């Protein structure tokens, strides 16, 4: 019987060893599973965070693109509005000659153009201003040839030194100079 007891004891010992190995394997498998679940959770959180960041960046990029487009459209509309104001002013220049203040305005434009001019000179005007130019020069005590070579809504061009030097002082010239300087101010008035 002793041999049977030894085999039984060995068998019991082997069963205990197998159970211990299986228990250890189960613990190890459970540890591996828990580690894998933690890593999977971390990977999922990382991917989610990266996806959210990409979505946020795309959203900001789209928003910035839209904002830029809106700014461009607003700027374009403002530029058109300012251009329309000056186009309207250019269109209304033709009516200035019919106003009662025009002779005084013409005289001021001629006087300014003649500042510092000595010797012979020529005054170029629109044909509609020929008589006014002759009369104004006479009133100013100046004499010059009046030429109707100019097409203008009003004002003068003074030429001297055989027309090599011209002093332009027409309503169109004045409006153009003012336009360059005043566009920002007009835009501010229109859109303030």
pLDDT in tens, the chain (192 residues): 677 777 777 777 877 877 887 788 788 888 888 888 888 888 888 898 888 999 899 988 988 998 888 888 877 777 787 778 777 877 777 788 989 999 999 999 999 999 988 889 999 999 999 999 999 999 999 999 999 999 999 999 999 877 888 899 999 988 888 877 777 776 677 666
| 38-53 CB burial, b ≥16 within 10 A, e <16 | eeeeeeeeeeeeeeee
Taking alpha carbons only, the member of 97, 114, 100, 78 closest to residue 172 is 97
Rg of the chain over Cα atoms, rounded to whole angstroms, equals 47
Q: CA triplet 125, 158, 103: central angle to 5 degrees? A: 50
Whole-model pTM over 0.85: no
Q: CA triplet 7, 9, 11: central angle to 5 degrees? A: 65
């Amino acid at each position: 019987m002793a041999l049977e007891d030894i085999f039984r004891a060995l068998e019991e010992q082997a069963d205990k060893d197998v159970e211990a190995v299986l228990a250890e394997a189960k613990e190890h498998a459970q540890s591996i599973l828990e580690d894998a679940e933690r890593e999977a959770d971390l990977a999922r959180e990382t991917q989610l965070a990266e996806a959210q960041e990409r979505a946020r960046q795309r959203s900001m990029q789209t928003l910035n693109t839209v904002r830029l487009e809106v700014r461009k459209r607003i700027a374009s509309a403002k530029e058109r509005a300012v251009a329309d104001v000056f186009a309207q002013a250019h269109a209304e220049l033709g009516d200035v000659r019919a106003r009662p203040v025009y002779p005084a305005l013409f005289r001021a434009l001629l006087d300014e153009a003649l500042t510092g001019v000595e010797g012979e000179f020529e005054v170029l005007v629109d044909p509609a201003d020929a008589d006014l130019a002759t009369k104004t020069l006479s009133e100013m005590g100046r004499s010059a040839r009046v030429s109707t070579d100019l097409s203008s809504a009003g004002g003068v061009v003074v030429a001297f030194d055989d027309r090599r030097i011209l002093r332009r002082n027409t309503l169109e010239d004045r409006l153009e100079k003012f336009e360059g300087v005043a566009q920002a101010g007009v835009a501010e008035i229109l859109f303030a």
